[in-house]
Amino acid sequence: MNDICKENIVEIDFDGNVIGKGKASSEKIMHCLIYKNRSDVNAIIHTHSPFLSTLALKGVGLENSPIVELQYLFGNKVPIVGYNPPGSIELAKSVAETLKTSNAAIMQNHGAIIVAPTIKDAFYSYEVLEYTAQVYIQEKLLK
């Protein structure tokens, strides 16, 4: 795994064209559409973390959680976005549309995406979301 550092970041313009060196992610159009739709967003985290990916594989969003941070950061709902192939324009459009009214989404059979004004806010929100997913799954196991 590469460390996150300036040399490992690929810069693209709003049309998905690479500026400088490197190869952009197959999800670059999704990121571009999100930025175009949300002037308040300056950071996006797209994760395939264990607990959020588990919810994604089961097609489960998060809603009505008693975890206060989820309520505060996401309005107590993180929707599931229906399946579309990774890297597809359909997935990009579907996620971008969902994120017009939400700061996070779980992509069915894929992972999750979190948006925020800063990278620090996005990472904090990601940590809360992954923790909430973990607690949700553990709670279901105890039933």
* Residues acting as catalytic residues: 27
By the 8 A CB rule, do 105 and 79 touch? yes
Give one DSSP letter per residue of 59-104, joined into a string.
Answer: T--EES-S-HHHHHHHTTEEPEEPP--TT-HHHHHHHHHHTTS-SE
**Number of Cβ within a 10 Å radius of residue 94:** 20
CA 65 to chain centre: 18
